[in-house]
Amino acid sequence: MQDSLVMLRSDAVDVTIDPIHGGEVRSIRHRPSGTELLFRSPWAPKRSRRGQPLDEEGWVAGYRGGWQVLFPNAGNACVHDGRRHGFHGAASVDPWDWDGDALRYVDETFEYVRRPRLDGVRFWFEEHILNLTSRPRAFVSVQHLAFGQGLLSPTVYVDADVSRAERLLEDEVALEAAGDRRLDWDRWRLLSLADSESRFGVIEVPSARYRISNPTRGLGVEVAWTATLWPFAWYWAEVRSIQARPWAGRSEVLALEPASTPHSLGLSVSERRGDATVLEGGQQLDARIEVAILTS
């Protein structure tokens, strides 16, 4: 519904946020060039069954592109602490409240507040995660930030301070058996839309920032975030490779997603492996993530 959308505008950027659908950022548009930076799925999304945990197929069917927060689960659906968590977590699809200043998501365990801000070419969220209970609680969090053809065509380069780069596996047995999972970061730094392929990886980024540059268009983005919450970034690229529906070989997308965990195995596995984030009873965690548009 158009009336439910949150619109932010500067001289350089238009931002559109949809609180009803996961509080997602639907659009970041560079006004001088008219370029839409975010990915938009080329299929007609199906309406999510709100309040019901989704499997991966259901989540993808409702995926519209853009920028979601995956919380309190990310990756595989799981059962944790007696509660069923769907693929990529309820916060990525359920409604968020908007009070004119902040988005707010509340479940029985956490309150997640995101305050969007826009100044010139810089757009950011000030984020606060509060444990509402009296005992320690675990979560995983990923900023599912996906860029589309407007930024990517014909070729982009990724600049990041990468200390580790590995293939991202979605099965724990495969993860344990994989051995050396290192990927060729020098090759993955370049993405050309001329080449049909899929990529799934994870990088560790001590500086907590990266740049994506398109020299042909003279356009790029710099993304910076709080490293203590998101020490990793999931790397996902899909260039007309997946033929199964709804992808059907039509998508061109690059997502570099600041992440609290180095895998997509879900909250239950993350806590068991010791890489979930744990807040004590009543504890609040503060963080920030920013996207700045670059021109040359």
Angle at 16 between CA 296 and CA 66, to 5 degrees: 75
Q: Which residue has the tokens 């908007």?
A: 98
- Tens-place pLDDT, residues 85-96: 999 999 999 999
Q: How many other CB atoms sit within 10 Å of the CB of residue 19?
A: 18
**Mean per-residue pLDDT over the chain, rounded:** 95
Name 7's bridge partners. Answer: 16
Rounded distance between C-alpha atoms, residue 56 and residue 47, angstroms: 14
CB under 8 Å to 247, separation ≥6 — which residues?
43, 238
Report the pLDDT value the prediction gives residue 53, as an integer from 0 to 100: 82
pLDDT band at 152 (very low <50, low <70, confident <90, very high): very high
* 3-state SS assignment for residue 174: helix
Domains of the chain, earliest start first: 2-295 (2.70.98.10)
Rounded distance between C-alpha atoms, residue 75 and residue 59, angstroms: 11
Q: Which residue has the tokens 């993808």?
A: 60
pLDDT band at 51 (very low <50, low <70, confident <90, very high): low
> Could you tell me the two tokens for 95?
């409604």
Cα dihedral 100→125→28→43 (10° resolution): -90
pLDDT band at 46 (very low <50, low <70, confident <90, very high): confident
pLDDT band at 2 (very low <50, low <70, confident <90, very high): low
- Tens-place pLDDT, residues 194-231: 999 999 999 999 999 999 999 999 999 999 999 999 99
pLDDT band at 171 (very low <50, low <70, confident <90, very high): confident
Rounded distance between C-alpha atoms, residue 52 and residue 55, angstroms: 10
- Tens-place pLDDT, residues 228-271: 999 999 999 999 999 999 999 999 999 999 999 999 999 999 99
pLDDT value at 114 more than 80: yes
DSSP state of 47: P
Report the pLDDT value the prediction gives residue 1, as an integer from 0 to 100: 44
CA distances in angstroms from 76 to 24, 28, 87, 171, 222, listed in the order given: 20, 28, 5, 9, 29
pLDDT band at 132 (very low <50, low <70, confident <90, very high): very high
